[in-house]
């Protein structure tokens, strides 16, 4: 019966893992190390190592190995015993966000004992005995990658041993999120929320416009000087000839002024635009358009100018407002703090 229970639990966890890997939303892998203390009799200590996979929409799975040294308990015959107790745990993990930096993590799964305890004439506790694993912990994020965890863990109904309850203090490291690669084809849809673009975006655009205008005015001043000198020459020629050609002298004046104004203006604007390099922050990829639109609306309501780019079977959501590289990195950090989504800074082509 124990073998059948272990097989069913393994199939359930593998099926859930497959669904999480294929699900939409950001994905995260983390590793943790815990110091544990048993709550029974002699309060013996131990340790636990855990690996977790988490999807932002569906939750995640966990797998851990731990051991309590000389775990003390009262056996079925009423005698006190103490044995090393190694246990493997695996199951479903559900994170509940309390604040921007604090989560409540709920664990529900199975626990398998690797210990074998023998009595006088029989085996009291078989290796491979399973039980129900329940746990709750508070996770406090110190940085985007590191967090501290404090919680309680319980394994119910282990043969001969009974229930095993421990208090745990741990340190967790979270790896970066993963997202699909960008395809070649692009169809862009821009979103603007009820709130206006942030003041930072406006300052960036105004600075870029001022640089273009100033460049144009500096170059346009030179043709005006040339136009004045040429008109003076034409007037001198008219005075030397003493001919009444006032109406005709206006023609070269118009032609001289119009040429330098048009030509330098188009050249300066073209050169200025080609030399500028702008960046965007790519945030997530969705196969469901409704999820992409929902994230874009959230970003727009926070004051960001965002776009949805069709990339194969996925829709990429990004924030773009002619950012410099430094500003794009800053915006990426702000969005990660507000929405807990880690984006990627890319050049706008």
Topology of domain 188-199+278-347, CATH:
Alpha-Beta Plaits (3.30.70)
User: In the prediction, which pLDDT does 203 show?
Assistant: 55
The domains of the chain are located at: 2-174, 188-199+278-347, 206-275
Domain 2-174 has CATH 2.40.160.20: yes
Q: Name which residue leads in pLDDT, 211 or 36.
A: 36
Whether the domain at 2-174 and the domain at 188-199+278-347 fall into the same CATH topology = no
Find where tokens 């969705």 sit: 286
Residue by residue, DSSP assigns 70-93 as EEEEE-TTS-EEEEEEEEEEEEEE
Using the predicted structure, report yes or no on whether residue 64 has a pLDDT greater than 90.
yes
Is residue 56 a contact partner of residue 124, using CB atoms and an 8 Å limit?
no
Q: Is the dihedral of CA 266, 267, 270, 275 positive or negative?
A: negative
Q: Using pLDDT thresholds of 50, 70 and 90, give the confidence band for residue 247.
A: very low
Buried/exposed 125-134: b ≥16 CB within 10 Å, e otherwise: beeebbbebb
User: In the prediction, which pLDDT does 148 show?
Assistant: 97
| pTM over the 0.75 mark | no
HEC letters along 16-37: HHHHHHHCCCCEEEEEEEEEEE
| Mean pLDDT, the chain, integer | 73
Using the predicted structure, report yes or no on whether residue 151 has a pLDDT greater than 90.
yes
């Amino acid at each position: 019966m124990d073998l059948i229970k272990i097989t069913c639990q393994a199939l359930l966890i593998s099926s859930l893992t497959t669904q999480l890997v294929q699900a939409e939303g950001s994905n995260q892998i983390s590793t943790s190390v815990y110091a544990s203390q048993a709550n029974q009799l002699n309060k013996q200590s131990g340790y636990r190592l855990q690996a977790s996979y988490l999807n932002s929409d569906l939750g995640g799975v966990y797998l851990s190995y731990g051991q309590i040294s000389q775990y003390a308990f009262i056996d079925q015959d009423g005698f006190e015993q103490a044995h090393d107790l190694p246990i493997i745990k695996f199951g479903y993990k559900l994170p509940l966000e309390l604040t921007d930096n604090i989560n409540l993590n709920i664990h529900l799964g199975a626990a398998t004992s690797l210990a074998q305890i023998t009595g006088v004439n029989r085996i009291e506790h078989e290796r491979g005995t399973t039980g129900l694993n329940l746990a709750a912990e508070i996770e406090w994020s110190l940085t985007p990658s590191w967090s501290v965890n404090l919680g309680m863990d319980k394994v119910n109904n282990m043969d001969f041993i009974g229930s095993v309850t421990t208090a745990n203090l741990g340190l967790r490291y979270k790896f970066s999120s993963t997202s699909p690669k960008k395809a070649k084809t692009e169809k862009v849809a821009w979103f603007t929320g009820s709130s206006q673009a942030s003041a930072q975006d406006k300052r960036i655009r105004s600075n870029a416009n001022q640089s273009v205008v100033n460049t144009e005015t500096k170059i346009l001043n030179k043709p005006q000087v040339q136009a004045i000198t040429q008109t003076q020459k034409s007037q001198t020629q008219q005075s030397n000839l003493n001919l009444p050609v006032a109406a005709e002298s206006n023609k070269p004046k118009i032609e001289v002024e119009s040429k330098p104004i048009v030509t330098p203006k188009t050249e300066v604007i073209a050169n200025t635009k080609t030399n500028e390099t702008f960046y965007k922050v790519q945030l997530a990829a969705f196969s469901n358009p409704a999820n992409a639109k929902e994230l874009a609306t959230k970003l727009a309501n926070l004051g960001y100018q965002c776009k949805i780019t069709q990339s194969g079977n996925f829709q990429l959501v990004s924030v773009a407002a002619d950012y410099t590289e430094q500003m794009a990195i800053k915006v990426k950090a702000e969005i990660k703090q507000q929405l807990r989504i880690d984006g990627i800074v890319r050049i706008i082509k």
